[in-house]
Structure 1
């Protein structure tokens, strides 16, 4: 079902605060929609970090979703986790796994476990060749080490309460397969090959933004991929897209409807606002229209895609 323009949608409320702590990362994955990498220098400043707990309290936020780059590379990452933990909310760390074995990060995994942080970790395949092709040489081996370390601390183990979700992204210009069936394959292969367990698999479509869009242009597949997303538009997913109940804050404190809009500098329809204004004024998010464009088809195509995996 192809439509020309993405339909207008509105926000239902505000439950999740997703923050991009900076674009610095120890990896440079081909599918990265934020163009993160080791040479990026953009990092959230201390003042913005200090405001985040205040925003959580004022707006009754239920989930703090920490992303990047590699959010753990921010000097105040642990401090923010500790402060947010005092507010009794869910904290998600979007972890690339290899950060757990970086020099200077030896205590990171145990810190995450101690603070009951939910780990959502990128592992685009259970095969070494495919992962290294997408994320760089040696990444798969280090990812397996990271997963074993997390398992040893209780992550992904039934009854531990320590959630370890894995994230799948297709390597090329295609939609992810059925999430449930793929999860079964992941469980079987990771357990049989490496003795690894996890909580849930999240299957995400790649967004035709930044580095992935550049890759599609090089192989002359950008238009084909964009049409694929439109051809597989599923209106049933509109009610569950992540922007309905979340906002995204970039490294310099600007607020967007979602992480993808942030990368495209697509301001909210109501106008640009920053995190400082969130505590100076009490904004009402429920009912506000959400800024949309053609990239939004990536969230609604097929089974749908969000930071929480398939939508249907």
Structure 2
């Protein structure tokens, strides 16, 4: 069983390394389940904006390969175009991700504008960035604008969380979860939503979401007095740093065999790419954040030229990495799908 440790680059392209494995192609698996072409729904519910790859952490499982040395950051102009497309096409939910979204200087502007448009706004955070004095005002800003907070917490023990994300990360995360609780986040009867995200600590599939959530809820409450609304289990995708780890540790073939062997046809109709669209920091549209990091398709549409057919009932680009969304109970940015 492979556990996440430091990795070094591999020369093969990410897509080649995934698609050249000795497993059945994902497209063939879809056809066997009666799906000859995966298409998005008639109504898109969510735009996920990846506002940049700058992050204060360099997590070993990060599909974005984000970190302090990255420079990619979404401009206010691209954000405005994204919000306009949402307004034009009735997209109701804005899901902000990164990197660490808080490190984009236009991040507060984006939330303020989205709130004025009456959008449901959610942001993903690694929590530790909020522990920086420079960004200490952000939790109250979230509460003021009713932003749903989705917090990454790879595990509820310090040793395992720090192994994936770096020394001191767990205690910093606990500190900020307590601060969010104090503001009303994750509290019974409060409208302020606080959700957590769990990722497996290596090259294996996650256990059932319900059981993991119960463990998190018990440990965080009993040991730290922390409460939250929901826990999302997200499997590790063979993209970015996790793909590098799989290749360099010799786990890629075995892990992809696990994913393909756990393919669940009932997940296909509920995969997240069917009712969402992903917007890159430089303004290009993708089916999901994972396709975005792989550059699929090769010639994506720019937000400035977006048409309804680029969103609704569009053909979704799929490759073998998509097994990660359809294994077992499925996986999405909102947890399991069945």
Q: TM-score, normalised by structure 2?
A: 0.89
1:68 aligns with 2:89: no
Offset at residue 288 of structure 1 (A): 1.7
- The equivalent residue for 2:328 is 302
Query: How far, CA to CA, are the matches of 2:26 and 2:145 in structure 1?
Result: 43
1:212 aligns with 2:242: yes
- The equivalent residue for 2:192 is 162
Offset at residue 3 of structure 1 (A): 4.3
Alignment of 1:97-112 (within 5 A): 97-112=127-142
| RMSD of aligned residue pairs (Cα, Å) | 1.2
- CA contact under 8 A between 2:75 and 2:106: conserved in structure 1? no
Query: How far, CA to CA, are the matches of 1:59 and 1:287 in structure 2?
Result: 13
Alignment of 1:94-243 (within 5 A): 94-243=124-273
Listed one character per residue, the Cα deviations across residues 6-37 of structure 1 (whole Å, up to 9, x for unaligned) are 32311113110001100000000000000000
Query: How far, CA to CA, are the matches of 2:130 and 2:311 in structure 1?
Result: 36
Listed one character per residue, the Cα deviations across residues 71-102 of structure 1 (whole Å, up to 9, x for unaligned) are 11110101110100011121110010101111
- The equivalent residue for 2:301 is 273
Which secondary structure does the structure 1 equivalent of 2:134 belong to?
coil
Q: Which runs of 5+ in 1 are unaligned?
A: none
Aligned length: 307
Offset at residue 4 of structure 1 (A): 3.1
Which residue, out of 36, 39, 50, partners 1:10? Answer: 39
Offset at residue 146 of structure 1 (A): 0.8
Listed one character per residue, the Cα deviations across residues 107-129 of structure 1 (whole Å, up to 9, x for unaligned) are 00000011000000000110000
- The equivalent residue for 2:51 is 21
Q: TM-score, normalised by structure 1?
A: 0.96
Listed one character per residue, the Cα deviations across residues 207-245 of structure 1 (whole Å, up to 9, x for unaligned) are 011100111122110111111100100010001100000
Which secondary structure does the structure 2 equivalent of 1:171 belong to?
coil
Which secondary structure does the structure 2 equivalent of 1:126 belong to?
coil
1:293 aligns with 2:322: no
Offset at residue 52 of structure 1 (A): 2.3
